[in-house]
Amino acid sequence: MTDLMIFAVLFGALAVINLVRLVKGPTAADRMVAGDCADVLICCAMILFALYSGRGVYLDIAIISALLGIIDTLLVARYMDKGRWLKYVAKDRH
Amino acid sequence: MPKTKFPAVVSTFVVCYAFWVLLTWTFTVQELAAGAVVSLAVALFSARFFIHERAFWLFNPVKLGSALLFWLILFPVEMIKANVDVAKRCFGGCKNVNPGIVKVPVDLKSDYGQAALANAITLTPGTITMDVAEEDGQTYYYIHWIDVTKPSGQEAGDAIKGTLEKGLRRVWE
Amino acid sequence: MLLRIVIDLLIAVGLIFALAGTKGVLKMPDTFCRMQASTCISTLGILGVCLGGLLYAIFVMHSPATAVKVALIGALVLFTNPIGSHAIAKGAYQAGIRPEKPMETDDYGRDFDE
């Protein structure tokens, strides 16, 4: 039983280690990648904790967290390439 | 803006309803009816963005079988091999990398096939698809590769996506 | 007993690959290589955890709802992660981020950097 909890704590520790790159990273892309990794690792830890405690509520939170992670990555990527996708789409349509 | 077609609405409705039932996992009448209403609304709104080509290809047993063969056997084997390779590079001091961006021709014609191939290439660690370009009817991917060993073009394409493209061509053809 | 060992082995494999990805994110020399290392976390890391959790939910907890949700989390991460990874790589390149040591083959810069 307790082995799941040990693994959950280890995954959480890895997520905290990823935050070093988020603080230090020289560019916005580095920070975004590190934040995304921390998000996925926290999602893993939440799955393991839900199985350990036997409550399904944490699984719902893990689904929402995984889905929101992709959306903020897309937002930052869109901000970084200065809206060039818009130009490509407009050229294709006309 | 493309028009909404009836088969596209039906197949989008089936996907949305399966998702609803899997998420709630309660089989009372009210839940199932509410799920039907919500997924019908979602299907009417988003079918024209979701489905451009034939709507029922997933219900064909041959296509479904080869899709399952690809996503359950061929692709995980490639993914695990690439994962072990990248993990060795990471544990070995992160020094033996030779990154570069290569341009690779792709022979798949269907839009969904190209999207699935790009996602499969990105999911194998060591390669990230960066952009898609079309020149003279031939589609090219720009791929960031962590260890460039082959010159750009057909040889790099065989090394990166030989197995994946063969498996996907059986699904979308 | 054998089942618990298999579950622990699967989760431990996920943990090892997550550790490799974390070390790559911290130590790799440039931005794009860090992205490659981060793919390691979000494929085999979460796949190991989800397979182990799936076995645990089916055979130890006997709860199909939990099993379906765990499988769904794995599938969602595997389907959505490449889109974000592709978008952030393209955005980083177009925002002018280049590695310190120039890449030997750079077809994207040759074709689109006028």
The complex's ipTM works out to 0.89
Residues B94 and B149 in one domain: yes
Residues B51 and B10 in one domain: yes
Residues B94 and B140 in one domain: yes
Do the domain assignments include residue B1? no
Q: What are phi and psi of C59, to 5 degrees?
A: -95, -20
Stretches where chain B sits below pLDDT 70 are 1-2, 53, 55
| Spatial CA neighbour of B173 closest among B69, B66, B48 | B66
What is the chain A residue with the closest CA to C93? A81
Residues B103 and B29 in one domain: no
Helix, strand or coil, per DSSP, at residue A84 = helix
What pLDDT, on a 0 to 100 scale, did the predictor assign at position A47?
A: 92
Do the domain assignments include residue B31? yes
The total number of structural domains in chain B stands at: 2
What pLDDT, on a 0 to 100 scale, did the predictor assign at position A90?
A: 46
Structure tokens at C39: 């793919």
What pLDDT, on a 0 to 100 scale, did the predictor assign at position A84?
A: 63
- Global confidence as pTM: 0.88
Report whether pLDDT(A87) > 50. no
Please report, for chain C, the start and end positions of each structural domain, with discontinuous segments joined by +: 2-94
Residues ≥6 apart with Cβ < 8 Å to B133? B139, B140, B142, C111
> DSSP code of B43?
H
* Cβ–Cβ gap A36/C70 under 8 Å: no
- Subunits that touch chain A (at least 3 Cβ pairs < 8 angstroms)? C
Alpha helices in chain A (DSSP H): 2-24, 28-53, 57-80, 84-93
* Cβ–Cβ gap C69/B152 under 8 Å: no
A40 touching C, CB under 8 A? yes
- Cβ atoms of C73 and B95 closer than 8 Å: no
State the Cα–Cα distance between residues B89 and B81, nearest whole angstrom.
13
Residues B68 and B32 in one domain: no
Residue range B92-137, pLDDT digits in tens:
887 888 888 888 888 888 888 888 899 999 998 889 998 888 877 7
What pLDDT, on a 0 to 100 scale, did the predictor assign at position A93?
A: 43
C5 touching A, CB under 8 A? no
Report whether pLDDT(A91) > 70. no
Calculate mean pLDDT across residues A73-90: 71
What pLDDT, on a 0 to 100 scale, did the predictor assign at position C7?
A: 93
Burial class (CB in 10 A: 0-12, 13-18, 19+), C5: exposed
Do the domain assignments include residue B33? yes
State the Cα–Cα distance between residues B86 and B92, nearest whole angstrom.
10
Give the total residue count for chain C. Answer: 114
Interface test with C, best of A19, A36, A52 (most C CBs within 10 A): A36
Alpha helices in C28-63 (DSSP H): 31-40, 46-59
* Cβ–Cβ gap B90/C69 under 8 Å: no
What confidence category does residue A85 fall into, taking pLDDT thresholds of 50, 70 and 90? low
How many Cβ atoms from other residues are within 10 Å of residue B36's Cβ? 14
Residues B110 and B135 in one domain: yes
Tell me the longest C-alpha to C-alpha distance in chain A.
61
Residues B77 and B49 in one domain: no
> DSSP code of B106?
E
State the Cα–Cα distance between residues B153 and B172, nearest whole angstrom.
23
Q: Which domain holds residue B31?
A: 6-55
Residues ≥6 apart with Cβ < 8 Å to B67? B58, B171
State the Cα–Cα distance between residues C113 and A5, nearest whole angstrom.
51
How many Cβ atoms from other residues are within 10 Å of residue A9's Cβ? 12
Residues B97 and B40 in one domain: no
For C82, which of B100, B123, B146 is closest by C-beta distance?
B123
Report whether pLDDT(C50) > 90. yes
* Cβ–Cβ gap A82/C94 under 8 Å: yes
For A18, which of C14, C25, C72 is closest by C-beta distance?
C25
Residues B22 and B63 in one domain: no
Which residue in this structure is represented by tokens 């955890």?
A: C49
For B94, which of C28, C99, C111 is closest by C-beta distance?
C28
| Spatial CA neighbour of C42 closest among B119, A88, A60, A7 | B119
* Cβ–Cβ gap C41/A43 under 8 Å: no
* Cβ–Cβ gap B103/C111 under 8 Å: yes
Residues B32 and B91 in one domain: no
State the Cα–Cα distance between residues B107 and B23, nearest whole angstrom.
37
Kindly report the average pLDDT of chain A as a whole number: 84
State the Cα–Cα distance between residues C11 and A45, nearest whole angstrom.
11
> Which CA distances in Å does C101 have to B97, B98, C25, C30, C104?
11, 10, 18, 9, 9
What pLDDT, on a 0 to 100 scale, did the predictor assign at position B162?
A: 83
For B131, which of C64, C90, C105 is closest by C-beta distance?
C90
- Mark out chain C residues that contact chain B at CB-CB < 8 A: 16-17, 20-21, 23-24, 27-30, 32-33, 35-37, 39-40, 43-44, 64-65, 68-69, 72, 78-79, 81-83, 85-86, 89-90, 93, 99, 103-109, 111-112
